[in-house]
Each structure stands twice: as structure tokens, then as C-alpha cells.
Amino acid sequence: MTSTDYQYISYEDSLKVLKLPYRQGRDRRQFSMYILLPDARDGLWNLAEKLSSEPEFLEKHTQTQEVRVGQFKLPKLKISFGFEASDLLKCLGLHLPFGAEADLSEMVDSPLAQGLCVSSVSHRAFVEVNEEGTEAAATTLMRLMQQSMPRDPPMKIDFVADHPFLFMIREDLTRVVLFLGHVLNPLLGA
């Protein structure tokens, strides 16, 4: 993905953070994709450690206004992952919905609800970034544009993701992270 548009990019502490807001749906939720690009080509694992150990890390490194962009290159990527989660949930102590004593009557509107239990739980995730934007799960989302142009900052910021980076999709009001991953070799997607 390349762009000459204004983007939400912050740059401090040897880290660039790109925020790509998705179009807001009918409710109040606000989803965004974040690309966290360390300056150091081998800085991915240090960044991951900071992100997991400092609760306000992303808030401290997020731009609230769009800035002028110089070079802007984000590789195409398509990542999908799935796994059967029943055994994992049972290991974490969640046994009730899987057994005969399960009561799913508030989830299922049927007289047969008393006899139901969970037989398996599967998880699938899908994220794609291409020239048109990003897609996550089965929902296509687009970047918002402001009606009036913001004032030009003194310089343009480059954002070229040509080395390992982290990405996440987050609901910004609750700060709940829905997807989190990393790209080790962005040049493979070219």
C-alpha cells in the first residue's frame, strides 16, 4: 500500500506508529489498525516486550491528528490462523459448558436448551492489507478522511515498513485488542 494522503503517524522513542482508522459502523465502536515500526531492524522483540509490560504504551505513542507523509510504503499481507480451542479452554478450567450439567437456556431459545452442551470451540482469524485498504475477519473497513485539511506540520514523516513490525487491530474506546501479530519479512509479500 502506498499513499500520498495525510496519515496518523507518531514518531518518538525510535518508534513509528501508524494508525489506520476504519469506517465507523452504526454503533459507537471505533476500530483501528496499528502498525508499530521500530527504527532498529532487530527491534521487534524489544518492542513486543514494552507493549506487553507497559499498559499505556500504545496511548503514549499514538497520533491524534493526521500529518503530512513523505514516503509511505506498507507491504501487502494476508494472514489467517485457526485452531480448535476446546482443549485449551478446558485446561484453563472452563468445563461447565462442555458437560451434561451445562445450562445454555439463556443462549438458545428452545425447549431443548436444557439438554444442550458445547461440543467444540473453533477460532479463526483473518487479516489482509492490500492497495485498497485492510480487511479483518469478513468485514471490509476503510480509512476516514477529514472534511477540512489539517495545517501542515513543518516536515513530512516517512513510513516505510521494510523490516520487521508489529500490527494490531483494536477497538479504541474500550482499548480491546482483537488481533495482534507481527511480520518478520515484509519483503516476502511484495
Among residues 55, 54, 56, 35, the alpha carbon closest in space to that of 44 is found at 35
Residue 146 lies in a domain: yes
| Residue 37 belongs to some domain of the structure | yes
97 pLDDT higher than 80? no
pLDDT in tens, 118-155: 777 777 776 767 666 666 653 322 222 223 334 444 46
Q: Which amino acid is residue 105, in one-letter code?
A: S
Domains in the chain, number: 1
Does residue 66 fall inside a structural domain? Answer: yes
The fraction of the chain above a pLDDT of 90, given in percent, is 6
Lowest mean pLDDT across 20-24, 90-94, 113-117, 183-187: 113-117
- Is 96 inside a domain boundary? no
C-alpha span between 118 and 108 (Å, rounded)? 12
Amino acid at 134: T
In this structure, what CATH number is given to the domain that contains residue 32? Answer: 2.30.39.10
* Nearest partner of 31 among 139, 128, 183, 145, judged by Cα: 139
Q: Which structural domain, as residue segments, surrounds residue 60?
A: 8-85+140-189
In-domain check, residue 112: no
Q: Does pTM top 0.85 for this prediction?
A: no
Domain assignment present for residue 43? The answer is: yes
